[in-house]
């Protein structure tokens, strides 16, 4: 089949990693795949002056560099076309195809007006994308009601959307993880223990909750080590715990090593449709302590991790202390369960399910 993906941009986010992985898996199965991405928003001279006046030049500079760097799609090696300017993707930008897949609500709006020759319409729903507030809420809802095939990346995402909008016929194809990239040999708990999390200045990512949990746990476990990585530099407004190790934009082939250096991975997101770092850490034999957001309730069930209350740094801190205080066999058992669950479902499995649904459109 000829399959075209439409994306809002190419970057190093989890959602774009999912698109790039599906594109690569489909191409490996002999399908003709193209990803068409919008151009990144320009950072013009007026924006630069505003950043200087507000004293946020470093933050804005990092954002510019992130936009200019290669994203997951470019790194995947699949055919990729980027628009020369930031604007809606139109039929003239797309080849004729059998399947056309939108991956963000705006791309689903653009897709709706495409002629039949561009392919049967599929909306890969990677988030309940109303987090920009009332200004887009009704537009997102209108988009989700459009007549197309809808595939969500988690059962929780389907529940959230259909609880608000009713039955939309959404099917679920859960995300997986690259089991070659994210893997680690059997190990024992480290001495002293180490916990890790992804650092982000976005409030919805909950790094502040993870930071508070680490600081609270250190009151009872002073030698607790902290490791973080991310695409934002730590800021004075959101400082890391003292003596924390931070890796800025780590190379993709080193991320598994970072997960494996930890005895627990913290997931404190306030809003997430899946939570790929949960699976990535589990695939590297690192137990996850997470809030019940995205796919966390399913992934961490039955002893494969520890689920704590939303926005509860106290609960997360208590779970850190529990993982560190229990005997070595308890930690190893949790580590093994996490690994088994993550490695029990691959991107090949997910691609088979995706094909089943898009071929039925």
164 and 132 co-located in one domain:
yes
148 and 245 co-located in one domain:
no
> Which DSSP category does 150 fall into?
E
Tokens 């319409």 label which residue?
A: 121
Domain count, the chain: 2
Output the domain CATH number for residue 33.
3.40.50.2000
Q: For residue 42, what pLDDT is reported?
A: 58
259 and 129 co-located in one domain:
no
107 in a structural domain: yes
Mean local confidence (pLDDT), 131-159: 93
Are 128 and 204 within 8 A, CB to CB?
A: no
239 and 318 co-located in one domain:
yes
189 in a structural domain: no
185 in a structural domain: no
Q: For residue 66, what pLDDT is reported?
A: 46
187 in a structural domain: no
Residue 145: pLDDT over 80: yes
99 and 238 co-located in one domain:
no
286 and 200 co-located in one domain:
yes
183 in a structural domain: no
Residue 53: pLDDT over 90: no
Q: For residue 187, what pLDDT is reported?
A: 97
Among 28-42, 179-193, 215-229, the range scoring the smallest mean pLDDT is 28-42
* Mean model confidence pLDDT for the chain: 92
56 and 168 co-located in one domain:
yes
Categorize the per-residue pLDDT at 343 as very low, low, confident or very high, splitting at 50, 70 and 90. very high
Residue 52: pLDDT over 50: no
88 in a structural domain: yes
Residue 93: pLDDT over 80: yes
- Report the distance separating Cα 81 and Cα 94, nearest Å: 9
Question: SS3 of 315, please?
Answer: helix
Categorize the per-residue pLDDT at 65 as very low, low, confident or very high, splitting at 50, 70 and 90. very low
Q: Which residues on adjacent β-strands are paired with residue 102?
A: 6, 123
Are 145 and 125 within 8 A, CB to CB?
A: no
- At 269, give phi and psi (nearest 5°): -60, 140
Range of the domain at 213: 194-342
Residue 48: pLDDT over 60: no
Mean local confidence (pLDDT), 57-77: 65
311 and 353 co-located in one domain:
no
352 and 337 co-located in one domain:
no
332 and 354 co-located in one domain:
no
Neighbours of 90 (CB within 10 A): 11
Neighbours of 49 (CB within 10 A): 10
198 in a structural domain: yes
Tokens for 250?
């780590």
122 in a structural domain: yes
329 and 352 co-located in one domain:
no
- The enclosing H or E element of 59 equals helix 57-68
Residue 58: pLDDT over 80: no
Residue 355: pLDDT over 60: yes
Q: What is the pLDDT of residues 196-226, one digit of tens each?
A: 999 999 999 999 999 999 999 999 999 999 9
309 and 232 co-located in one domain:
yes
Neighbours of 109 (CB within 10 A): 16
């Amino acid at each position: 089949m000829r399959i075209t993906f439409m994306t809002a941009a190419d970057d190093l986010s989890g959602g774009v990693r999912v698109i790039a992985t599906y594109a690569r898996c489909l191409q490996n199965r002999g399908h003709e795949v193209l990803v068409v991405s919008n151009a990144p928003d320009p950072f013009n001279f007026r924006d630069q002056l505003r950043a200087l006046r507000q004293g946020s030049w470093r933050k804005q500079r990092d954002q510019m560099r992130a936009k200019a760097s290669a994203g997951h799609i470019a790194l995947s090696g699949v055919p990729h076309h980027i628009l020369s300017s930031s604007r809606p993707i139109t039929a003239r930008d797309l080849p004729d195809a059998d399947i056309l897949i939108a991956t963000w609500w705006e791309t689903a709006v653009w897709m709706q007006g495409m002629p039949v020759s561009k392919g049967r319409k599929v909306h890969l729903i990677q988030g309940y994308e109303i987090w920009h507030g009332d200004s887009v809420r009704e537009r997102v809802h209108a988009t989700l009601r459009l007549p197309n095939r809808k595939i969500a990346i988690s059962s929780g995402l389907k529940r959230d959307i259909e609880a608000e909008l009713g039955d939309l016929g959404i099917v679920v194809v859960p995300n997986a993880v690259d089991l070659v990239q994210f893997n680690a040999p059997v190990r024992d708990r480290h001495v002293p223990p180490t916990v890790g999390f992804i650092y982000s200045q976005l409030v919805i990512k909950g790094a502040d909750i993870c930071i508070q949990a680490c600081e609270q746990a250190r009151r009872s476990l002073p030698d607790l080590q902290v490791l973080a990585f991310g695409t934002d530099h730590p800021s004075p407004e959101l400082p890391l715990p003292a003596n924390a190790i931070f890796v800025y934009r780590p190379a993709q082939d080193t991320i598994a090593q970072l997960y494996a250096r930890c005895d627990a991975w913290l997931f404190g997101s306030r809003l997430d449709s899946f939570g790929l770092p949960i699976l990535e850490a589990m695939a590297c034999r690192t137990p996850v302590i997470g809030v019940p957001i995205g796919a966390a309730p399913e992934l961490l069930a039955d002893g494969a991790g520890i689920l704590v209350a939303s926005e509860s740094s106290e609960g997360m801190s208590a779970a850190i202390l529990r993982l560190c205080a229990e005997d070595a066999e308890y930690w190893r058992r949790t580590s093994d369960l996490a690994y088994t669950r993550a490695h029990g479902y691959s991107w090949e499995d997910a691609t088979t399910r995706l094909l089943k649904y898009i071929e039925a459109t």
